[in-house]
Structure 1
């Protein structure tokens, strides 16, 4: 049985961990022994049965602007805490002896974690046999603050990595659109198709308007406006608003106090399958939410979370709107009436040949490469 060791770190929302969870599940079902080193706030049950989860001392972002890294308690991360994370990572590496190591986003992102990942990768590459080292990337990268950081990313990639799995479709959004050295490493890139929950597309129609705040950490503004839009709505479709499990408690209580005709929920475990039967989806433009909605081929209104540093969601929403796949409603223009007007215009996405089996394709690729290596 081949062995896979994954490193993933979510800082604000839970999208990074959710995407890795889908890949880990597919790998487990393919017969790959999978271990995930999870570095964000604990998310019990997110990886499902059969996947070993090693919880690193949690680190998160202080705020939505990503101004600093802090512990789960909101205190500065100490040298001892960084050292403990690295100790656990090294111990896990020695225990699992993986055939393949997968780092989520690094070195194309998560650069602040180089202090633990570089010594970890140094140890990994001297193992015998040496594991294949791969990066796991979403469709759109966030530009760093300096060009030097891009150069550092390329240098690290060339020094340690055998390749990168891009969970996207090159004909829709090539990595070169947001990574300046993508063409220079083109032979080491493999596009897997998009990672989307298999449940999306199976639900029978129920006709609701589904509003999703994503993980919830940055979903309050959207949910608040959606509650008022539902109150003013004159069409017959019921509204269901899912705030997200990571929404701060104070914000959640404020939404409850605003209650109206909409069904308001903190979270919905089977959201991806429920979205498939919706009249329309209104959501942030995070990777996982978009892919599950897109796969279901229902009308999609995207209100991206965007800050000066975080441009990924805005770029995705703009690009999909340009392809007639969604309506892009910037948060600066968000209001109950603007939301209702966008809903009136929304229609199913134009036909495009798109693959949404990225998790399964990733598992197939990893299993095939491990088998080929075993017989080499």
Structure 2
């Protein structure tokens, strides 16, 4: 029997959260014997999407600034109409050559409106295919709530016309789609909750740190890392700190931060054993992105969250506030990141007992693969019955 083919589009613009979550899902699909081609439109990130996954790299675009107001190419220059037209043609050509059974589009039409120039033509090309694949959108559990008039209605219209499934990667006991997308009831029949896309249970750490500070994969964590290094100098020398900057911090900034690191604080761009480090840590200090929170929940460690709010972003604040109400985190606003305040918060949290983790569903990657396999099997059974 031939493997079912998946065509998985993902565009990361600032951090690598979208790519990381999509890569976890793609890995689970491969493990369930799908043939996965991931089409990536962002700057390349070493290690992603991972082994066993075919990749197609479109000419890369990134966010023009922290507020997502424009697109730039790999050199940092504004994109041109000719550049965008070429990307669109390459994407549609890749679709036709892949001849997929399933198309997964990450975020759109709930997000990634910047990519409408190629995604609307892609959806039209899918609709015109002689053998139309199953079409799903892959969506995090909490959406950005700042919407212009008419945007939600446009999203509903696109889902109704082009999508078979809205895969919400969350646990409805923690967050439901209608809480950040009020028109969710109009597409209720297409919405399926997969559980949170968390990593597998981590191995025991080879190194143990009291505090693990992570800035995620974006380029906006310099302030957090710098304040954490200064806070470490205000706290007892016996505390061991691990600070992970992420891959996008400019080399000059990394070198400057490294030169200021006190004794007992290790500064790293990336740690392959990050999940196990969290499992052995007493406290995680981070932004409140989806993947980082999933890592922390899986590890079961205490968490101090500093939500990203640039450009009017609300998603991380919503997630952090919900975790704080569950007793799983303490929230520190971005404007409160001073070495003194950070040191006080870290000291207070280290004095608390380890939090009890609620029974949230963290197996979203495997369950996404199962949902798609079951849906395809049902459709194949219906086609066989009708042709008999």
Q: Give me the TM-score of the superposition, normalised by structure 1.
A: 0.96
CA shift for structure 1 position 78: 1.2
Asked if the contact 1:144–1:150 (Cα under 8 Å) also holds between the matched residues in 2, the reply is: no
Residues in 1 aligned to 2:323 and 2:68: alpha-carbon distance in whole angstroms: 26
Aligned: 1:12 with 2:14: yes
The residue that corresponds to 1:80 in the other structure is 82
Aligned: 1:53 with 2:69: no
The residue that corresponds to 2:378 in the other structure is 372
The residue that corresponds to 1:318 in the other structure is 321
The residue that corresponds to 1:294 in the other structure is 297
Match of 1:173 among 172, 175, 183: 175
The residue that corresponds to 1:140 in the other structure is 142
The residue that corresponds to 2:27 in the other structure is 25
The residue that corresponds to 2:212 in the other structure is 210
Residues in 2 aligned to 1:364 and 1:255: alpha-carbon distance in whole angstroms: 44
Residues in 2 aligned to 1:104 and 1:349: alpha-carbon distance in whole angstroms: 32
Asked if the contact 2:64–2:78 (Cα under 8 Å) also holds between the matched residues in 1, the reply is: no
The residue that corresponds to 2:250 in the other structure is 248
SS of the counterpart of 1:264? strand
Deviates more, 1:12-21 or 1:149-158: 149-158
Aligned: 1:267 with 2:273: no
CA shift for structure 1 position 18: 0.5
Match of 1:360 among 366, 374, 382: 366
Asked if the contact 2:169–2:364 (Cα under 8 Å) also holds between the matched residues in 1, the reply is: yes
SS of the counterpart of 2:150? helix
The residue that corresponds to 1:280 in the other structure is 283
Residues in 2 aligned to 1:217 and 1:30: alpha-carbon distance in whole angstroms: 34
Deviates more, 1:250-259 or 1:161-170: 250-259
- Give the aligned length: 376
Asked if the contact 1:204–1:276 (Cα under 8 Å) also holds between the matched residues in 2, the reply is: no
Asked if the contact 1:70–1:77 (Cα under 8 Å) also holds between the matched residues in 2, the reply is: yes
CA shift for structure 1 position 207: 4.2
CA shift for structure 1 position 201: 6.3
Structure 1 pair 182/47, CA: closer, same or farther in 2 (3 Å)?
same
Residues in 2 aligned to 1:334 and 1:44: alpha-carbon distance in whole angstroms: 30
Matches within 5 A, 1:331-346: 331-346=334-349
Asked if the contact 1:294–1:300 (Cα under 8 Å) also holds between the matched residues in 2, the reply is: no
CA shift for structure 1 position 313: 1.1
Match of 1:115 among 117, 121, 142: 117
CA shift for structure 1 position 126: 2.2
Residues in 2 aligned to 1:188 and 1:370: alpha-carbon distance in whole angstroms: 15
Deviations 1:201-256 (A, max 9, x none): 65478243100011141111110010011111126330010111011233222212
Structure 1 pair 326/264, CA: closer, same or farther in 2 (3 Å)?
same
Q: Give me the TM-score of the superposition, normalised by structure 2.
A: 0.93
The residue that corresponds to 1:124 in the other structure is 126
CA shift for structure 1 position 141: 0.8
Residues in 1 aligned to 2:32 and 2:124: alpha-carbon distance in whole angstroms: 29
Match of 2:36 among 31, 34, 53: 34
Residues in 1 aligned to 2:59 and 2:130: alpha-carbon distance in whole angstroms: 28
Residues in 2 aligned to 1:216 and 1:113: alpha-carbon distance in whole angstroms: 20
TM-align CA RMSD: 1.6
Residues in 2 aligned to 1:285 and 1:202: alpha-carbon distance in whole angstroms: 24
Deviates more, 1:345-354 or 1:56-65: 345-354
Asked if the contact 1:205–1:276 (Cα under 8 Å) also holds between the matched residues in 2, the reply is: no
Residues in 2 aligned to 1:207 and 1:300: alpha-carbon distance in whole angstroms: 14
SS of the counterpart of 1:263? strand
SS of the counterpart of 2:280? coil
CA shift for structure 1 position 375: 2.9
